[in-house]
A and B are shown apart, each in its own frame.
Chain A
Amino acid sequence: MLMAGVVEMRGVSKRFGTVTALDGLDLTVEQGEVHGFLGPNGAGKSTTLRLLLGLLRADGGSARLLGMDPWRDVAAVHRRLAYVPGDVALWPNLTGGEVIDLLGRLQGGQDPARRARYLALFDLDPTKKARTYSKGNRQKVALVAALATDAELFLLDEPTSGLDPLMEDAFRGCVRELRDQGRTVLLSSHILSEAEALSDRVSIIRAGRVVETGRLEDLRHLTRTSVTADVGTVPTGLDLLPGVHDVVVVNHRVSAQVESSGLAPFMKALTAAGLSSLTSQPPTLEDLFLRHYGAGRPGQERANA
């Protein structure tokens, strides 16, 4: 038998009083992949990660992490993983450096060279008291602490939500590096483009249930860029180009939904037609749900109809 997934969740459910946070969730993360875990706010991403960390206890279903039970085998599992919470809270009186070293020791040691490298990469001053850090800087502390360990599995809960674009770029470099080293990453996000840029596979969670999972190429229909362009003369046959959908022409303005593979020929055609201005927008998760399911989130069906 082949090695089972690093994360295996089957029919996991979790309720908080009357709120159902997870409703029969299935999730598999394979060894060595970067797995994007996509869903809008409140979909249940953080709850899933907390269950995997043994911080919460599932009401039903089964979950395995690195072949072990996330609730019972806490110490053994945690020695092999690193976690960055969605909302990083630090001790106001400790410096960033003190927190990084404390977390590293509790994790069973971190590599000083890597610690120094990531501090420099994220441009983080470790001598500042945590009280004075911004949200982004608190997140960097948790990121450096996690990245400097020798974990096999990284659970990252919306790790870029407080980072500026430059730091986001640095973070993406780090994730690619982890993948090249054969480590496994589960990366939650509510931004489709982020998952697209990093993930080998994605799972899309909605209202506590994984509704779509697979390689990005296979989910290509989900990742269309919306393009609006002003051209001199509107060329004909745009809607016949491969990967181009929903073409609308108003006077000299063309708008369309284009798959990534269709972008090059589409742009070529627009350039030839005397392109004068261009805006493009990656689809948001909300667009994706609207398009893919033809309806909004549960309870909004009528509003979006």
Chain B
Amino acid sequence: MRETFAGAGTLVRLGLRRERWLLPLWILGFALTTYTTASAGADLYPDTASRVEAANAVNATASLVALFGRIYDPTSLGALSLIKYTAFMAAVLAVLMVFVTVRLTRSEEESGRLELLAGGRLGRQAPLAAALAISFSASVTLGLVTAATLAAGGLPAEGSLAFGLGWAATGMAFSAVAGVAAQLTTSARAAIGMASAVVAVTYALRAVGDLAEPGPSALSWLSPIGWNQQIRAFEGDRWWVLLLPLALCVVLVPAAFLLRAHRDLGAGLRAERPGPAVGALSGVRDLAVRLQDRTLAAWAVAFVIFGVVIGSLASNAAGLLSSANAQDLLRKLGGAQALNDAFLAAEIGIMGVLAAAYGLAAAGHLRSEEASGHTELLLSTATTRTRWGGSHFAAALAGVTVLLLLAGLSIGIGAAATLHDAGQIWRVTLAAVAQAPAAWVVTSLVLAVFGWAPRLASSVWGLLAVFIALGEFGVLWNAPQWLMDLSPFQHSPALPVDAGGVGPLLGLTFVAAVLAAVGFAGWRRRDLAA
């Protein structure tokens, strides 16, 4: 027993060293956003009446309930302020823990680094034990820090603790899910994909469950993200619900260890099947496509589902303001059409940011291919650097564009069906595709950094986080306009897109082209870096 876990302590230290930037930064990011939100809440909703009105409006809007969940105590300031954080940010936290856990287990195994260590005195279960120890303690730390910042932001201490512990338990539950997924697949990419799919499915389960009248149906109780919402922090603090994610850990952690005990190092659940003896890849462009086609397909499916759901919720948007006064105001503002547009525009903006994240990940192949030594092999053939770099860059840009086109079509078709207006398809698709140039800028940023400082290429993720934070909190933080303008998303035209959008779109495309040219210039003159 002791033998199988030998060396886990050493691996924990090694893992913490590897994650010493990423984890603290994330924890800081979560703490900062929750603090901002908590302290801003009291100003936004100064009295009970304003809270009740806002809470009722949220509960009456199906699209918001599907995206964020319900508010169970309309008088609770905490529940209202943190509406985006119990499901949506809990899902982000879950994906973060999936990444951490898989990076420390299957990635290490796939790269062969673990084999190197396994030669020493390292027990078979040590890597998984070390990874779970790190992701569990990161979850708990993040939860406790969040509880402290919420209380510091002026929310009740007890509710803050319930909220923080909810996040901690959710993080732990999805770490355990990732621990199991890492035993089933041979590649880290596939393990991350599988565990992320579990996050997505549990998120969708609770969306459907929350939409049921009058409250959450059984479906919400099938979902760990649903559990996190049903703790109902600041609206009753149901501590016993915390037992559900912990019980899931008690089931999944032994399961992961059991799976590991019954497989070889490097192997998955299924034996590797043979493939074609003769290759059909005709060049680096084919290769670039081949390296990301499965990922793109998964994103495309998610975009289409998300799009149809959002589109079909369009007609609910007008229900947001139900009082006679508000309806009157609405008419003056341009009617239900304007409100629908505002709702769709906000969702299309989210799709634009997600597409940029895809572009960032896809352009990340430039660096990962170089670092793994694949590029050295390819550049020793008649392939030029420009051709190789261009193939990955073009594939990333095309992927971004295809995703936004699919998002636009599916939102448009959903909206057209619910609003009985076929014209929606065209205008919504146009608005979605208009988000592409901003996403291209983010994609080109990867190329620019890759060209001059390849080892920093993944830091563009941090820039994306800054852009998102500026969009979300910039106004709240009183950020100066020039700072807000640095985010490319700030310049994307919103629905309805008219001739006024052409200028910003050309500008964004120009910036993307300049960044790409800078990147290629650096890439053509630098050494290949391992």
Known: A91-B291, A105-B283, A131-B186. Is A53-B276 also a contact (CB below 8 A)?
no
**A89 pairs with B283, CB closer than 8 A:** no
In the complex, how many angstroms separate the beta carbon of B17 from the nearest chain A beta carbon? Answer: 22
In the complex, whether B53 has a CB less than 8 A from a CB of chain A is no
Task: Find out whether the CB atom of A99 lies under 8 angstroms from the CB atom of B279.
Answer: yes
Question: A55-B527, A106-B284, A131-B186 given as contacts; is B377 within 8 A of A88 (CB)?
Answer: yes
Q: A50-B528, A128-B274 are in contact. Are A89 and B384 (CB under 8 A)?
A: no
B373-414 residues with Cβ-Cβ distance < 8 A to A are 373-374, 376-385
- Contact in complex: A98, B279 (CB < 8 Å): yes
Q: A55-B379, A87-B373 are in contact. Are A102 and B274 (CB under 8 A)?
A: no
A131 to B280, CA, bound (A): 19
- Is A127 within 8 A of B277, CB to CB? yes
Q: State A131–B266 Cα separation when bound (angstroms).
A: 9
Interface: B275 (CB within 8 A): yes
Give chain A residues whose Cβ lies under 8 Å from the Cβ of B380.
Answer: 53, 55, 78, 81-83, 85, 155
Mark each residue of chain A from 120 to 144: 1 if its CB lies under 8 Å from any CB of chain B, else 0: 0000011111011000000000100
B277/A95 in contact, CB under 8 A: yes
B 105-134 binary contact with A (CB < 8 Å = 1; else 0): 000001000000000000000000000000
- A155 to B282 alpha-carbon distance, docked (Å): 24
Given contacts A57-B527, A79-B382, A87-B373, are A97 and B110 in contact (CB under 8 A)?
no
Q: Are B379 and A103 in contact (CB under 8 A)?
A: no
Across the interface, do B275 and A102 meet the contact criterion of CB distance under 8 Å? Answer: no
In the complex the two chains form, what is the Cα distance from A87 to B527 in whole Å? 18
B381 touching A107, Cβ below 8 Å: yes
Per the bound structure, the CA–CA distance linking A108 and B376 in Å amounts to: 17
Residue of A nearest to B273 (CB): A129
Instruction: Give the CA-CA distance A83 to B186 in the complex, in Å.
Output: 30
In Å, the complex CA distance between A126 and B276 comes to 8
Given the interface contacts A55-B528, A97-B279, does A106 sit within 8 Å of B382 by beta carbon? yes
Is B187's beta carbon under 8 Å from chain A?
A: yes
The residue on A at minimum CB distance from B377 is A85
Q: B287 in the interface, Cβ–Cβ < 8 Å? A: yes
B377–A97 contact, CB under 8 A? Answer: no
**B270: interface (CB < 8 Å):** no
Contact indicator A102/B382 (Cβ below 8 Å): no
B157 to nearest A CB, angstroms? 50
Say whether, besides A50-B528, A55-B376, A85-B380, A97 and B277 are in contact (CB < 8 Å).
yes
Interface size class of B (residues with CB under 8 A): 35 or more
What are the residues of chain B within 8 A of A78 when measuring CB–CB?
A: 380-383
Q: How far is the CB of B42 from chain A (nearest CB, A)?
A: 53
Residues of B contacting A132 with CB < 8 Å?
Answer: 272
Chain A residues, CB < 8 A from B291? 91
B298 interface contact, C-beta 8 A: no
Given contacts A83-B380, A89-B372, A102-B287, contact A127 B279 (CB under 8 A): no
Most chain B beta carbons < 10 A, residue from A97, A102, A132: A102
Q: When the two chains form their complex, are residues A90 and B276 in contact, meaning their CB atoms are under 8 A apart?
A: no
Q: Does A92 interact with chain B (Cβ within 8 Å)?
A: yes
- Complex CA gap A91/B281 in Å reads 13
Interface residues on A, range: 35 or more
Q: Cβ of A106 and Cβ of B279 under 8 Å apart?
A: no
Residues of A within 8 A of B273 (CB): 129
Q: Which residues of the partner chain A approach B280 to less than 8 Å between Cβ atoms?
A: 98, 101
A35-60, CB < 8 A from B: 50, 53-57
A114 to B267, CA, bound (A): 33
In the assembled complex, which residues on chain A have CB atoms less than 8 Å from the CB atom of B381? 78, 103, 106-107
A19 part of interface (Cβ distance < 8 Å): no
Q: Are A127 and B283 in contact (CB under 8 A)?
A: no
Cα of A108 to Cα of B381 in the assembled complex, Å: 8
Cβ B377 vs Cβ A56 within 8 A: no
Q: Which residues of chain A have C-beta atoms less than 8 A from B282's C-beta?
A: 105
Query: In the complex, A88 Cα to B112 Cα: how many Å?
Result: 14
B278 at the interface (CB under 8 A from A): yes
Contacts of A147 in B (CB 8 A): none
Q: Determine the chain B residues whose CB is within 8 A of the CB of A126 once the complex forms.
A: 277-278
B377 touches A95 (CB 8 A): no
Task: Return chain A residues, CB-CB under 8 Å to B384.
Answer: 74-75
In the complex, the answer to whether A129 meets B275 with C-beta atoms within 8 Å is yes
B274: A residues at CB distance < 8 A = 95, 125, 127-129
Q: Are A90 and B374 interface neighbours, CB within 8 A?
A: yes
Contact of B262 with A by CB under 8 A:
no
Q: How far is the CA of A99 from the CA of B380 in the complex (A)?
A: 14
CB distance from B348 to the nearest CB of A (A): 34
Q: Is B276 touching A57 in the complex (CB atoms < 8 A)? A: no
Q: Are A94 and B377 in contact (CB under 8 A)?
A: no
In the assembled complex, the CB of B118 is this many whole angstroms from the nearest CB of chain A, namely 16
| A129 and B286 alpha carbons, distance in the complex (Å) | 18
Question: Which residue of A56, A88, A89, A94 is within 8 Å of B279 (Cβ)?
Answer: A94
The CB with the most chain A CB atoms within 10 A, among B277, B373, B385, is that of B277
Whether A93 pairs with B382 at a CB distance below 8 angstroms is no
A107, B383: Cα distance in complex, Å? 8
Nearest-neighbour CB distance to chain B for A266, whole angstroms, equals: 42
Report the bound CA distance from A50 to B283 in whole Å: 22
List 10 other contacts, CB 8 Å, given A54-B379, A90-B374, A100-B279: A50-B528, A83-B380, A91-B287, A92-B187, A93-B187, A106-B284, A126-B277, A127-B277, A128-B274, A131-B266
A-B contact pairs, 23 of them (CB 8 A): A54-B379, A56-B528, A78-B382, A82-B380, A85-B376, A89-B373, A91-B291, A92-B187, A93-B187, A94-B275, A95-B275, A97-B275, A97-B277, A97-B279, A98-B275, A101-B278, A101-B279, A102-B281, A106-B381, A126-B277, A127-B276, A131-B186, A131-B187
Q: Give me the 3 closest cross-chain CB pairs, A-B, nearest first.
A: A98-B279, A89-B373, A101-B279
